[in-house]
Structure 1
Amino acid sequence: MKKKLMTGIIAALLLASPIVMPTVTEAASVEDLESQKAELENKSNDLNSKIQSQEETLNNLESEKANLESEVEKLQTDIDAVVLELKAQEQKLADSKAKIEKLKVEIEKLKDLIAKREEKLEHQARSVQTDGNTTNMVELVLSADSLSDLIGRVGVVNQLVSANKDIVTQQENDKKEVEKNEQAAQEEKVAIESLKSEIEVNKNNLVAQKAELDDKIIQVATKYDMTESEKNQFVKEQAVIATQTSVLSSELQQERQRIIAEEEQAQAAAKKAEAEAEAKAAQAEAKQTANSSSSNSSKDSSSTTAPSSSPSSSNSSGFIKPSGGYSTSSYGYRIHPITGVNKLHGGIDFGGGGPIVAAQSGTVVFAGYHSSWGYYVKIDHGNGLQTLYAHMVAGSLLVSPGQHVSQGQQIGTMGTTGSSTGVHLHFEVYVNGSRVDPANYL
């Protein structure tokens, strides 16, 4: 589009020049003519330079667009893999629940059988206590009329003893079977809880990868300087490419859209709740500061007070390093490595690679994708204290919003997503919504 516009401008200038030149020749000296000729040549060179630059830009954009289509296909493949894994996990979850229900039925049957045997044994015990004793058993044997009668009576006694012994043995075996089934049911419940967490994490990764895909498409559309309608059309074209690339059935594609819609709503609600909590914390802090100032001003200047402790000056928070990497950039103002602008670097960068762990236990408030931070996680530790971990590897998020994490638990892997020049972890600490130097906590 812009290429055609530039070509049109050149053509207009070339057509206009024969008309202007005779007038200039008649009205000006040779020196003026040479000067104007040189000026026209300079303008022509500038124009050619601009056209060449514009062509290079357009070629670069075309290359970037081609790369985008390749990335769209790759991301769509990753998204498909997550959806298929989710489907398999949900089937496994359904199987586990069915297994638990079956175990419950078996346990109830065994318990009922055990109860009936217990009742029978108790009845026999009461009969022996009231109607018989060991003397009766001896008399039963001694009162035999003959040897054959004696053998028969001894056999009856043995049968009675053996029958009760078998009942007791079976009773013990069934009780052990109940314990075994209950243990299996408990293990299955633990497996289900673990599986549910994995499903939540995979759903969250699915939404994050979809967000990265959308972000890349919009970035390229913005660089093309498209109108809103052109941008919408471009987004639709990329969506068609993604759909054509997808190996999912129409049923699974609908399931994917349902999962994404639900997770996006949940993340939006989590963000809103976090913003409200930060606003309340900030108001409480401002009120506390005002009260503290009022209280201090009313005290005698000669009185001594203990210095108040602040999170930024205290190392008693019990934080651990979020990665095993070495520090490559500290908190403070610096020249941004990408934009070249002098701005605040609101955290500490750790180079190297490998796992990223929670610096302290807390609740995950966000785990997703951002155009600048890439894949990142934010954890709330209570008392207005939060930490942020950015630039993780795509699809490496191991936690989801609302999940409780313990100190040292892995939450992701160091990467270079978002605005990043290499593999590293960008780590931030927030106190009541404001960034502070993380060095004071590590």
Structure 2
Amino acid sequence: MKRKILVAVLAASLAFSTWTVESIFAAGSNPESKLKQIQEDKTKAKADLNQARSALNEQKKKLQDLEKKVDSYDQQIAKYTQSLAENQKMLEKQESKFKKILVRMYQEGQMDYTVRLLEAETFSEFLARFETVRIIVKQEKAILDNYINIKRKIEKEKAAIEKEKQKQAPYLEAARNEYQKLVKSVSEKNQNLKHLEHQEELTREAIEEKNRLVREASGRYSGTGTGELMWPANGRMTSPYGWRNGRMHEGIDIANDIGTPIYAADSGTVSLMKSDPDGYGYYIVINHGNGLSTLYAHMYRSSVTVSLGQRVRKGQRIASIGNNGRSTGPHLHFEVHKNGNPVDPMPYLQ
């Protein structure tokens, strides 16, 4: 009897276990359950994306605050650099006059003017020669004084530039460290960040100000480019030159990861470096000569490797792709300006 009862209990247990397993599998294959799981996964993915975006925005804000401080020194350095360039041009003009006076003074000696006066045969001739000598001496003294004053100004401006660079150095170092952290974060969050679509929403004011500055800068420094441009960065062109959303897009956009190298499209001189946190981020203009200039935008100041007035060669690295200013995805905004006006870059690119 006991044996029959035990067998019955075991059979009932097995039957219950079988029903439980089947019920679990039935629930797992339920379409409603699958849909719920997908919705939960989407919600979590969206939350992760928002979290990644928020964290990066905080890092960008910290970097931008540091770069504002760096830019304040950049502006002061730019003033000294422009003044230095103007004084060096003036010095070159005075150089030949100065050398001629030195050569004559060495060859003839300081007694030359006295000899001219003593050789006068009459007193009226003496007075005439005296007036001539006085004018010549005054003119030569003015040339010498002017030359020496310009030289002193140049030395002061060079010293001032170095002083400002020393003040700027710790902020620039801090900005570069923060930039490296940002690059690392982007790399780590790349799986989520790839869903972010790159876009620009530049104001008309930012565009007009940029064009005005480019026109002004084109007359400050000379360039010696070939007129044939290389692609300034590797990547995918996400937006061409032309009308977009009812507004003129004055360049092309090349998308790639933050930190991707940017190269000078042609040889020339860096004629403008500008911080525009609410528009183009940080941008550089290179003057290639013959009315041709190129502009590189949305970079971080801490990634820039050139300075104002510096001559660069075609293919030289000048900065790295960033996501600075009015941009929600890392890319290079690249423009070509001809005689002060933005034009389609494609005919110029090799």
TM-score band by shorter chain is: 0.3 to 0.5
Q: Which has the higher contact order (CA 8 A, sep 6+)?
A: 2
TM (normalized to structure 2)?
0.39
Which of the two has greater helix per residue? 1
Q: Report which of the two structures shows the higher radius of gyration computed on alpha carbons.
A: 1
